[in-house]
Homo-oligomer: A and B are copies of this chain.
Amino acid sequence: MSIFKDLSKNKDQLEQGTILAPRFDANGLVSAVAIDVETHHVLTLAHMNEEALALTIETGKVHYYSRSRQKLWMKGETSGQVQYVEEIYVDCDQDAILLKVKATGPSCHNGYKSCFYRKVEGLKAPARKASLKIVDQVLIDPDTLYKS
């Protein structure tokens, strides 16, 4: 049985109401973006299944669902870099989640504060010519983050 209500057939309630009724997609997932509650720095953009969202609400620690590993994971379970939830928001049609978190160290497995450490260069030009530039610095060496 689902934890959350299904309001997908009731647009008014879904978009204007006060019932939390996340609309999981065909794979059972919603998108979730985590930002630093103080700086508003965008840290991670990942996915949650029902269990991940429920655990995030209940424990105050962000849980995601890994599409590549096909499993639930608590952010920081291996690296120790937990994201502590301060506030959660849903979007208009309840298929996306915004997490405002405290995260002292790197949120990226590559050791950067944010997963978005590369900027696209070459806007307003043919997309095939665009390139990336690393615009951030590693906080902790990934070998240190994931050493056992």
Contacts and interface: CB of A to CB of B under 8 A. Distances in A.
Most B CB within 10 A of own CB, among A35, A46, A118, A126: A118
Interface residues of A, number: 62
A19 interface: yes
Nearest to A42: B98
A52 to B, nearest CB: 11
A79 interface: no
A88 B41 contact: no
Interface of A: 3-4, 15-20, 25, 31, 33, 35, 39-42, 44-47, 53-55, 57-60, 67-68, 85, 87-93, 96, 98, 108-110, 112, 115-120, 122-128, 130-135
